[in-house]
Amino acid sequence: MEAMRVIAGSKKGHPLQAVPGKSTRPTVDKVKEAIFSMIGPYFEGGLVLDLYAGTGGLGIEALSRGAERCIFIDANRKAVHVIFQNLGTTGLRDQAEVYRNDANRALNALKKRKLSFRIVFLDPPYAEQQIESQIAMMIDYRLLAPGAVIVAEHDAKDMLCNRIGGVVKIKEVTYGQTTITIYKNEG
């Protein structure tokens, strides 16, 4: 497996630890670079949600590129430990909240805080993919800011629908067995 690092921004070049074992599948640098070229290379503030955070690589990349804060969620204890490590080595811990929780329960908890996300990363284990229903939950819970972007990483065999409520698919690119689908909240 190739070494992971922060690709651009204030923390460019910082190495990132991987989660031990085979329970997570980190986004490789080539795909991460493509994601950020699709959604905008840099950000002016805003709140980010990294829902299946794994190593925290996508959320950390967003923070490095100017996002204000990121909430990292993962159900795996080892992953949460690695996220804390990666936030520590990049010096981004003060801009982050990290929770060990199931994705759907986490969305329910976030609803109670009345948060509004500008960017959401959804990179679930391929076998447990519930991307469309989780986007619908985010709409129902009013968790998406106007114009919010959702980046869904999924198995290339899974076709996601073009529209979920006011959220519309704006781009889809496949890299080998991985497809990146970008949605925008137009509601």
Domains held by the chain: number: 1
3-state SS record for the chain: CCCEECCCCCCCCCEECCCCCCCCCCCCHHHHHHHHHHHCCCCCCCEEEECCCCCCHHHHHHHHCCCCEEEEEECCHHHHHHHHHHHHHHCCHHHEEEEECCHHHHHHHHHHCCCCEEEEEECCCHHHCCHHHHHHHHHHCCCEEEEEEEEEEEECCCCCCCEECCEEEEEEEEECCEEEEEEEECC
Please provide the average confidence, as pLDDT, over all residues in the chain: 92
CATH label of the domain that carries residue 31:
3.40.50.150
Asked if residue 160 belongs to a domain, the reply is no
Asked if residue 158 belongs to a domain, the reply is no
Asked if residue 161 belongs to a domain, the reply is no
Asked if residue 147 belongs to a domain, the reply is yes
> Is the entire prediction scored with pTM above 0.75?
yes
Statement: residue 24 has pLDDT above 80: no
Asked if residue 103 belongs to a domain, the reply is yes
How high is the pLDDT of residue 7?
92
How high is the pLDDT of residue 132?
96
Statement: residue 23 has pLDDT above 80: no
Segments forming the whole domain that contains residue 47: 4-153+169-185
Mean pLDDT on 67-80: 96
